Amino acid sequence: MENNKLSNSVIILANGEFPNHPIPFKLLEETQLIICCDGAVDKLLKLDKTPDFIIGDMDSISRVTKEMFENKIIEINRQTDNDLSKAIKWSVENGVKEITILGATGIREDHTLGNLSLIQNLKYRIKIQIVTNFGIFTLVQNNQTFESFVGQQVSIIADNPTIKITSRNLKYPLNDTKLKHLHLGTLNESISDNFAIEISQGNILVFQSFIDCD
């Protein structure tokens, strides 16, 4: 295991919709370390990029690719976790402090919902984001201020209805508000070059659209 290659931050490429928006694509191009979830490696190879590690149960990777990267495979056959969960856990156990996830949405809506729920319920105290072709989901574990722009679409997703949420610089303000249903925090909007979120406990997700999203 080449653990000396691990850095504080990594890209995890899941096997969903491949990055094609300039922002996630640039992240993929410029990162120093890529961890692929199982079959995502076959998509990565089309960019003439190679993974540093491949993590999963190896049920969706091609035989040729598996043989090619045999020394980079970390096979984990724990069926209670999906491949993304395995990659996150392995990264944290090896000292990673910041994770950016690409390819976690799209293709299958059930996988998208599962991955968002997975991130929201993480107990690790690390910086973690899901970057899609439309925007960024950020895991919020403490009070946080976000860079933004006027008119940016913002959604707040809380699956724990006991969390009190307060916002600043959003069009529809929250003041110790409990979101009893997932949809109640969606379709908000930034009114400044930054906005802030305060939470009473637990974790929530904040989604910010890219500037070219309607």
* Integer Cα distance of 28 and 48 in angstroms: 12
Given a cut of 50, is residue 2 above it in pLDDT? no
pLDDT score recorded for residue 91: 93
What tens digit of pLDDT does each residue of 30-62 get? 888 999 998 899 889 988 889 999 998 888 888
Domain boundaries, position 61: 6-133
Tokens of 147: 């860079």
Q: Read off the pLDDT band of 212 (50, 70, 90).
A: low
Mean pLDDT calculated for residue range 6-23? 89
Q: How far is the C-alpha of 212 from the C-alpha of 12, rounded, in Å? A: 24
> pLDDT at position 11, please?
96
Domain co-membership, 120 together with 59:
yes
Phi, psi (rounded to 5 degrees) for 172: -115, 95
124 and 42 in a common domain: yes
The answer to whether 9 touches 37, Cβ cutoff 8 Å, is: no
Residues 91 and 176 grouped into a single domain: no
Range list of H helices, the chain: 22-30, 40-45, 63-68, 83-93, 109-120
- pLDDT, tens digit, 9 for 90 and up, residues 59-93: 888 888 888 898 999 988 877 788 899 999 999 99
**What percentage of the chain exceeds 90 in pLDDT?**
66
Is 139 in a helix, a strand, or coil? strand
Helix (H, G, I), strand (E, B) or coil at 34: strand
Q: Which residue has the tokens 């959003």?
A: 170
pLDDT at position 6: 64
Is residue 127 domain-shared with residue 145, that is, in the same domain?
A: no
CATH of the domain at 28: 3.40.50.10240
Same-domain pairing of 129 and 145: no
Are residues 99 and 147 both part of a single domain?
A: no
pLDDT-derived band at 102, boundaries 50, 70, 90? very high
pLDDT of 107 higher than 90: no
- 214 is a domain residue: no
Q: What is the average pLDDT across 103-117?
A: 90
Average pLDDT across the chain, whole number: 90
Spatial distance between the Cα atoms of 26 and 22, rounded to a whole number of angstroms: 6
Who's near 70: CB < 8 A, 6+ residues apart?
A: none
**pLDDT reported for residue 116:** 93
Fill in the amino acid letter for 14: A
